[in-house]
């Protein structure tokens, strides 16, 4: 048996909290339907594509004194996409709910992500199996993967596997792309009278899967606290040594929620927000000028140090960079199939690309450091796009700021260190909040199943209140969808929630920016706490508090 750390031993003993409506088990739950729903955009197109599952009502659960009949059900579960703290507890909550409902129920875990249900690779969970993973980080209980469920062949194979195991419901734990797949699978199962339900659970540390019904995606709380601890440690070091500027790139390609939350927890000198850069059409030169100005002014105060937080996806939001990357994404497929390009050395590849790009985009590409040019030509992601996480934006900014300082005859000192915080936060021990929230999401997923629903996302709301006051229910997956261009074709996808520049979270950063830039208001959050007073152990993110305060003010 693998040796366990003292913390893991104690965390296995933790009993997650549930909303009061679920505490007696799903057999004692009454479902209340809300009004019919529609998609957030492209209503006609989404309705046509999801004619069997579109327009369903939102639902909430309340406890009941009357027990419902409990049928024997076999359920399958999939972990899909990137890891997020708390995934194990979603499965544990699902398992406990179905076993409490009927001890004959079975839960199967498909191995390696969605490919597991296609290929029939699975395990059957029992108490011993589940108990070894409660309240732990990672997705190693069954592994994850990024296979898409979208073709007729995949659906047919998934159906055959489910029939072989007598599975009547599948729970897909994932982000926006994974839950888009869940919506497609649910629609196909209904259309073909398969009798198999599909329920999703909202996972992504990026925080971009949320709306009025989904207040936060799981993993965001733990990941941002993990990053904030690291940033706080670096702030303490910078404030001690007083000789380095630390440029910290932080995970979040499509949205800057993680960078924004980490900044609010630590109060660095500079925080860039991708959505703001895009909205204000800030050029790369203007960003360099903005950062350089702060560096110079701090140096004039005798402060040749500081902290800059940079979102992972920043480079795509800079207008001229986004245009160049889009152009690059369009030309690379043909270049990569060209033997001349494939066999060329790095310098020659750069020259070929410069000659193939549109003139304005070629000028932008030529202006970049060689390191960044090469990274832009690295292997594509599964969508055929530049892998932004591999572009060292933090080093690009350091190099360009250094050049700018030299050009203005800067007489102070500028010495920089670069960091990228990504994988450090994806598999951390879940915070008490994420442990409770994830367990509730899994438990609630079985409540949705037991009430015969399909094409729904597990929803637990009122999250700034004590857990017993949380509101359990579900939201139709189609409600969150619109049409977007993917691989040169319009596809239905769950719309990402970006940082709202008029929202209370960004406004909190905006009003403090100038003060934090010149003065050292660093906060040191320290490590996530699991034991002790609720005021320390059960706190959630600044983002959630500010957003819910606004919602309550509007009620």
Nearest to 328 by CA among 375, 272, 278: 375
Mapping DSSP onto H, E and C, the string for 62-111 reads EECCCCCCCCCCEEEEEEECCCCCCHHHHHHHHHHHHHHHCCCCEEEEEC
Q: Please identify which of the residues 96, 176, 177, 206 carries the catalytic annotation.
A: 206
Q: What radius of gyration do the chain's Cα atoms show? A: 25
Backbone angles phi, psi at 82, to 5 degrees: -70, 155
DSSP state of 284: H
Catalytic residue check, 206: yes
* Cβ–Cβ < 8 Å for 353, 331: yes
Q: Give Cα 348 distance to the centre of its chain.
A: 37
Handedness of CA 261, 262, 266, 268 (dihedral sign): negative
Handedness of CA 112, 113, 114, 120 (dihedral sign): positive
What residue has token string 């074709």? 489
CA distance 368 to 284: 10
Handedness of CA 251, 233, 11, 25 (dihedral sign): negative
Q: Please, which residues have CB within 8 angstroms of residue 168's CB and are 6 or more apart in sequence?
A: 73, 74, 75, 162, 195, 196, 197
CA distance 265 to 259: 10
**Count of alpha carbons within 13 angstroms of residue 101, beta-carbon side:** 31
Long-range contacts of 295-299 (CB under 8 A, 24+ apart): 295/245, 295/401, 295/405, 295/412, 295/414, 296/405, 296/408, 296/410, 296/412, 297/517, 297/518, 298/269, 298/517, 298/518, 299/410, 299/412, 299/413, 299/414
CA distance 202 to 213: 11
CA distance 37 to 457: 13
Q: Please, which residues have CB within 8 angstroms of residue 28's CB and are 6 or more apart in sequence?
A: 63, 64, 65, 66, 67, 68
DSSP-assigned letters across all residues of 467-531: GGG-EEEEEEGGGGEEEEEETTEEEEEEPP-PPPTTSHHHHHHHHHHHHHHHS-------SPP-S
Mapping DSSP onto H, E and C, the string for 372-394 reads HHHHHCCCCCCCCCCCHHHCCHH
CA distance 335 to 323: 18
Residues annotated as catalytic (active site), given as ranges = 206
């Amino acid at each position: 048996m693998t040796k366990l750390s003292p913390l893991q031993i104690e965390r296995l003993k933790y009993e997650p909290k549930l909303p009061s409506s679920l505490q007696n088990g799903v057999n004692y739950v009454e479902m209340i339907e809300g009004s019919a729903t529609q998609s957030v955009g492209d209503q006609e197109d989404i309705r046509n594509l999801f004619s069997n599952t579109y327009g369903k009502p939102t639902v909430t659960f309340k406890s009941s004194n009357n027990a419902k009949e409990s049928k024997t059900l076999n359920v399958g579960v999939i972990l899909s996409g990137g890891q997020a703290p708390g995934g194990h507890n979603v499965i544990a909550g699902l398992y406990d709910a179905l076993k409490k409902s009927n001890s004959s129920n079975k839960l199967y875990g498909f191995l390696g992500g969605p490919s597991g249900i296609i290929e029939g690779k699975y395990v059957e969970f029992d108490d011993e199996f589940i108990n070894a993973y409660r309240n732990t980080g990672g997705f190693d209980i069954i592994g994850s993967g990024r296979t898409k469920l979208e073709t007729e062949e995949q659906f047919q194979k998934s159906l055959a596997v489910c029939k072989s195991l007598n599975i009547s419901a599948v729970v897909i734990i994932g982000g926006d792309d994974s839950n888009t797949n869940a919506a497609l699978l649910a629609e196909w199962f209904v259309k073909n009278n398969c009798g198999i339900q599909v329920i999703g659970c909202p996972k992504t540390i990026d925080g971009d899967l949320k709306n009025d019904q989904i207040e936060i995606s799981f993993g965001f709380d733990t990941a941002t606290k993990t990053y904030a601890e690291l940033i706080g440690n670096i702030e303490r070091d910078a404030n001690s040594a007083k000789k380095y500027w630390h440029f910290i790139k932080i995970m979040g390609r499509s949205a800057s929620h993680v960078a924004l939350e980490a900044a609010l927890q630590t109060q660095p000198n500079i925080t860039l927000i991708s959505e703001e850069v895009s909205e204000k059409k800030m050029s790369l030169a203007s960003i360099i000028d903005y950062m350089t100005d702060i560096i110079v002014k701090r140096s004039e105060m005798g402060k040749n140090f500081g902290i800059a937080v940079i979102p992972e996806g920043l480079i795509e939001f800079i207008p001229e960079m986004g245009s160049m990357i889009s152009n690059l994404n369009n030309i690379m497929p043909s270049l990569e199939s060209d033997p001349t390009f494939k066999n060329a050395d790095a310098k020659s590849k750069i020259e070929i690309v410069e000659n193939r790009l549109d003139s304005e985009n070629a000028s932008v590409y030529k202006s970049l450091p060689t390191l960044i040019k090469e990274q832009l030509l690295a292997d594509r992601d599964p969508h055929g796009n530049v892998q932004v996480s591999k572009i060292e934006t933090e080093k690009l900014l350091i190099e360009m700021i250094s050049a700018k300082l030299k050009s203005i005859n800067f007489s102070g000192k500028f010495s920089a260190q670069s960091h990228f915080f990504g994988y450090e936060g994806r598999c951390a021990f879940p915070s008490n909040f994420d442990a409770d929230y994830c367990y509730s999401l899994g438990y609630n997923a079985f409540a949705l199943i037991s009430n015969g629903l399909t094409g729904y996302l597990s929803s637990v709301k009122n999250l700034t209140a004590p857990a017993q006051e949380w509101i359990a229910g579900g939201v139709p997956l189609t409600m969150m969808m619109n049409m977007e261009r993917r691989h040169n074709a319009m596809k239905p996808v769950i719309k990402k929630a970006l940082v709202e520049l008029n929202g209370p979270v960004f406004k909190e950063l905006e009003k403090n920016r100038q003060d934090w830039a010149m003065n050292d208001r660093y906060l040191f959050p320290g490590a996530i706490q699991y034991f002790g007073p609720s005021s320390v152990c059960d706190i959630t993110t600044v983002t959630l508090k500010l957003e819910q305060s606004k919602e309550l003010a509007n009620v």
